[in-house]
């Protein structure tokens, strides 16, 4: 049985926040989740998360998906793995992957290939490495043929060793039994008083066991975050990597300013993404769409040919050839069917908007089932909440809703039903009917003169009275 140990106990003091460092997000996804997903994709074995600072936040995020162990004191990477020793003792015969929870770009392909090399070479430990043109600050990999002779930290390296560009990524495959055998031999006799996982390599070599190194093609696996500046660099790198992926798939970007795309997003060829567009979660965009500027979609599906301008939409389906915006809010569980037109300052919530319907401006449609080719006049509101419960409106095909109509749910408008401007609808309207709700208009002459008596300028008031007498 294989195991995966993810080290997520770091506080990250330079992050300056009451939050475990691995929970800081890259493209809206916690760094810890990036690492977990790579392990899952690589089928790296049973996972265990080592938590530490604000560990309850790690537990809350995982919500029981994986077991955790507590590193009560942060005393180094070796000390962190020691906390998982009982977890590893379930099966000494397999292999164990150790990863850092704040290094989000270690990919599944690298994990798999490192595991294959680890097995093929019969290594007790295999270090995942990368080559950097400027390796300053990293431990150097010293090889003897295809074997690993040691890891030399920069402060201990001589001039020849400092010229080595292959560096330690901080990720390892171990034979589980061999790792358990040397964990108790780790020493904290160093300036920092910490137990370093890198020391296990020397201990295994001293026992006459073989060590190896897998050189990945992806140098960004070594990227991590120790400060907010580092986190910004991770986001910038991931952002451009995702944009590059979509460019290769035929997506059009006139300008990438403010564009942020989740790694889970799918975009069809020929779609144009305009500045300020943010696509989160498992959003799927079809072909030939225009999204943006300044549009936010989260876990939405947008079908071919749709155009969204200054739109925020969440957990909704937007069908083919829909035109939405500007300044439109689509709330969860909405379906905007083919050919719908939605204009400025409109909010849709938990509603099904039928094909070809027009909602031009200044309208709220909540908890409603709307038929085909309905026309909403300006200022229409579906009044769906009575202070205790939500109710739905049903609007039939080809209904025409006049400006400033209030539909007091639950009500049903039949097909081709009309409402006059300013009507408040409190009961069902039959098909082909017109609903008019207007009280008799009363005109009170001289009202404003009486209201403002003594406040208006005397000459102006006199002039108004004289003009009135004429």
- How does strand 434-435 pair with strand 418-419? parallel
At 385, give phi and psi (nearest 5°): -130, 125
DSSP string, 173-209: EEEHHHHHHHHTT----STT----TTHHHHHHHHTT-
Tell me 385's DSSP state.
B
* Tokens at 423, concatenated: 């009507």
* Tokens at 226, concatenated: 């120790």
**Per-residue 3-state assignment (H helix, E strand, C coil) for 99-159:** EECCCCCCCHHHHHHHHHHHHHCCCCEEEEEEECCCCCCCCEEEEECCEEEEEECHHHCCH
- Residue 120: C-alpha distances to residues 97, 117, 123, 146, 175 (Å): 16, 5, 8, 12, 13
Number of other CB atoms surrounding residue 87 within 10 Å: 17
Given 3-state DSSP classes, what are the helix, strand and coil percentages for the chain, each rounded to the nearest 5? 25, 30, 45
Burial degree of 338 (CB within 10 A; 0-12, 13-18, 19+): middle
* Tokens at 373, concatenated: 């080719």
* Tokens at 56, concatenated: 């309850």
Are the beta carbons of 289 and 307 closer than 8 angstroms? Answer: yes
At 253, give phi and psi (nearest 5°): -125, 110
Residue pointed to by tokens 């007091």 = 408
Are the beta carbons of 71 and 50 closer than 8 angstroms? Answer: yes
Burial degree of 99 (CB within 10 A; 0-12, 13-18, 19+): buried
Torsion of CA 96, 101, 104, 108, to 10 degrees: 20
Residues 200, 76: Cα–Cα separation, whole Å: 13
Are the beta carbons of 380 and 353 closer than 8 angstroms? Answer: no
- How does strand 125-131 pair with strand 166-175? antiparallel
Residues 313, 285: Cα–Cα separation, whole Å: 13
Q: Is the peptide bond before 326 cis (omega within 30 degrees of 0)?
A: yes
Residues 430, 177: Cα–Cα separation, whole Å: 78
Residues 253, 427: Cα–Cα separation, whole Å: 50
Q: Is 361 assigned a catalytic role?
A: yes
Choice among 218, 237, 329, 361 that is catalytic: 361
Q: Catalytic positions, please? A: 361
């Amino acid at each position: 049985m294989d195991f995966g140990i993810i080290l997520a106990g770091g506080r990250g003091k330079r992050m300056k926040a009451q939050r475990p460092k691995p929970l800081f997000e890259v493209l809206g996804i916690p760094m810890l989740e990036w690492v977990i997903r790579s392990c899952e994709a690589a089928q790296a074995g049973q996972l265990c998360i080592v938590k530490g600072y604000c560990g309850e936040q790690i537990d809350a995020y995982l919500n029981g998906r994986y077991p955790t162990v507590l590193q009560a004191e942060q005393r180094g990477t070796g000390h962190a793995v020691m906390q998982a020793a009982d977890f590893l003792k379930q099966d000494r015969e397999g292999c164990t992957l150790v990863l850092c929870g704040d290094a989000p770009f270690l990919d599944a392909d690298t994990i798999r290939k490192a595991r294959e090399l680890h097995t093929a070479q019969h290594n007790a430990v295999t270090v995942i490495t990368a080559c950097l043109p400027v390796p300053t600050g990293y431990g150097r990999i010293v090889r003897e043929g295809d074997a690993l002779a040691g890891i030399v930290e920069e402060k201990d390296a001589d001039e020849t060793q400092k010229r080595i560009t292959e560096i330690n990524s901080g990720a390892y495959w171990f034979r589980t039994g061999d790792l358990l055998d040397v964990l108790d031999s780790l020493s904290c006799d160093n300036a920092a008083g910490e137990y370093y996982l890198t020391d296990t390599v020397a201990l295994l070599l001293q026992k006459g066991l073989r060590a190896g190194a897998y050189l990945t093609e992806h140098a960004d696996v070594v990227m991590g975050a120790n400060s907010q500046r580092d986190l910004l660099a991770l986001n910038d790198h991931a952002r451009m990597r995702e944009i590059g992926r979509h460019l290769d798939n035929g997506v059009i970007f006139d300008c990438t300013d403010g564009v942020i795309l989740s790694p889970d997003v799918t975009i069809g060829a020929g779609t144009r993404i305009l500045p300020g567009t943010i696509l989160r979660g498992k959003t799927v965009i079809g072909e030939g769409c225009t999204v943006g500027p300044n549009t936010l979609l989260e876990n939405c599906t947008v079908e071919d040919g749709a155009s969204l301008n200054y739109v925020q939409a969440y957990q909704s389906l937007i069908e083919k050839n829909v035109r939405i915006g500007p300044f439109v809010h689509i709330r969860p569980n909405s379906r905007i069917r083919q050919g719908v037109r939605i204009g400025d300052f409109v909010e849709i919530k938990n509603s099904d908007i039928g094909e070809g319907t027009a909602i031009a401006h200044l309208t709220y449609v909540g908890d409603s089932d709307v038929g085909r080719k309905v026309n909403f006049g300006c200022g229409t509101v579906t009044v769906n909440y009575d202070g205790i419960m939500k109710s739905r409106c049903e609007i039939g095909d080809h209904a025409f809703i006049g400006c400033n109509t209030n539909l007091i749910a639950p009500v049903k408008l039949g097909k081709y039903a009309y409402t006059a401007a300013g009507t408040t609808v409190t009961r069902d309207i039959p098909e082909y009917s017109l609903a008019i709700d207007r009280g008799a208009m009363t005109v009170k002459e001289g009202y404003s003169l009486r209201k403002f008596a003594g406040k208006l300028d005397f000459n102006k008031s006199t002039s108004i009275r004289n003009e009135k007498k004429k």
